[in-house]
Amino acid sequence: MKAGSASLMVLTAVLLGASQSSYRITQTYPLGGEGSWDYVVPDPPNHRLFIARQNRVMVVDEDKGTLLGEITGINGAHGTAIAGNSGHGFATSGSDQSVIMFDTKSYKSLKRIPAAEDADAVVYDAPSDRVFTLNGDAHSSTVIASSGNLITNIDLGGKPEYGASAGDGKVYANLTDTNEVVEIDTKAAKVTRRWSTSPCKQPVSMALDAANHRLFSGCRSGVMAISDYQTARMVATVPIGSGVDGAGYDPASRNAFASNADGTLTVIRQDSPDQYHVLQTVETPKGSRNMGLDPTNHRVYVASAKFGPTPPSGRRGPVIAGSFAVLVIEQ
């Protein structure tokens, strides 16, 4: 084989590999509706997305982008959790310090359960068959059985944001004001460990790699902090965009993701459990800081909208009615 032909083949292989590893927006689901949004929570077994929209939770078909229904009667919608085979889902109603239990087929509200101030994210833990709300201003977690029975409230010693279940009887949560990760024993309903995320500050979003016992904390200081939750130690930090609020990890590709308000989705490759690098930065609309990852179809779902003029306060302008959409990002 001639040298020129060999070089051409190598270049072609490199370019082909690069194109195959590139994430891009493949679909846009225009959903409309008024109001801002918060967490985007996939339900992989049923190919659905649960998206918090202030006074309701929208339920969207992952493949078609159609609205399947809504959970209503919520005052300050933030997080959603689907409680295994119980047929029950749980949606936080942060402004009135409660949780709405709903039927996962009809989306009808079944029960209102008291929580605590600023009930935000909520996580289902299969080993204990319980859900755990993360109550920001109350610095606590409300523990609820999948049947809807209130069990207790746990003092976390800091302001929690998002969390994840490891599937082994432990739930982890970021504490944004103390720059820590806290570990909850789900059956004992108590805090068992905590550790610093330094140099990461304001850890908010979280994803989990159960096979390698790694936590990914998206930090408002502009890094993704990776920690070993078996040894309770930090192992790496990787730069991400600003204003992060969503995270995910796909075990098949070994890629982690951070969705950022600056209009970027940071894709991070796991080279080994302790080594990482930024693989790609995907451009998204500004303000698209919430995402959900479905590990069964390897798609990232990012919430977006158009915004009105910036007010004198300098804060983000209001969401333009009817502009809300979900972006599908995949390889």
**pLDDT digits over 20-53, tens only?**
569 999 999 999 999 899 999 999 999 999 999 9
Q: What is the pLDDT of residue 18?
A: 46
pLDDT-derived band at 315 (thresholds 50, 70, 90) equals confident
Q: Give the CATH number, domain containing residue 154.
A: 2.130.10.10
pLDDT-derived band at 2 (thresholds 50, 70, 90) equals low
The strand pairing partners of 102, in sequence order, are 89, 109
For residue 4, pLDDT over 60 is answered with: no
Give the three-class secondary structure for 21. helix
Q: What is the pLDDT of residue 14?
A: 44
Domain of 310 in residue numbering reads as 3-28+115-330
The total domain count for the chain is 1
Q: How large is the average pLDDT for residues 306-323?
A: 85
The strand pairing partners of 109, in sequence order, are 102
Which residues contact residue 208 at a Cβ distance below 8 angstroms, ignoring those fewer than 6 apart?
Answer: 164, 165, 166, 172, 214, 215, 216, 229, 249
Determine if the peptide bond prior to 273 is cis (ω within 30°). no
pLDDT in tens, 56-78: 999 999 999 999 999 999 999 99
- Report if residue 215 sits inside a domain: yes
Q: What is the pLDDT of residue 313?
A: 80
For residue 324, pLDDT over 60 is answered with: yes
Q: What is the pLDDT of residue 282?
A: 98
- Report if residue 124 sits inside a domain: yes
Dist. CA 119–CA 49, nearest whole Å? 20
Q: What is the pLDDT of residue 314?
A: 72
Helix residue spans in 165-217 (DSSP H): none
Which residues contact residue 264 at a Cβ distance below 8 angstroms, ignoring those fewer than 6 apart?
Answer: 240, 241, 281, 282, 283, 284
- Report if residue 83 sits inside a domain: no
- Report if residue 306 sits inside a domain: yes
Q: Which helix (H) or strand (E) holds 20?
A: helix 3-21
Q: From the CB of residue 127, how many other CB atoms can be counted at a distance below 10 Å?
A: 14
- Distance from the Cα of residue 20 to its chain's centroid: 25
CB 120 within 8 A of CB 134: yes
pLDDT in tens, 247-288: 999 999 999 999 999 999 999 999 999 999 999 999 999 999
- Report if residue 108 sits inside a domain: no
- Report if residue 34 sits inside a domain: no
- Report if residue 242 sits inside a domain: yes
pLDDT-above-70 percentage for the chain: 94
Q: Please name the residue that has the structure tokens 């905590």.
A: 194
For residue 85, pLDDT over 80 is answered with: yes
DSSP string for residues in 286-309: TT---EEEETTTTEEEEEE--B-P
For residue 300, pLDDT over 50 is answered with: yes
Dist. CA 238–CA 252, nearest whole Å? 20
pLDDT-derived band at 16 (thresholds 50, 70, 90) equals very low
Dist. CA 80–CA 292, nearest whole Å? 12
Q: Which helix (H) or strand (E) holds 19?
A: helix 3-21
CB 121 within 8 A of CB 165: no
pLDDT in tens, 95-119: 999 999 999 999 999 999 999 999 9
Q: From the CB of residue 206, how many other CB atoms can be counted at a distance below 10 Å?
A: 26
pLDDT-derived band at 1 (thresholds 50, 70, 90) equals low
Amino acid at 110: L
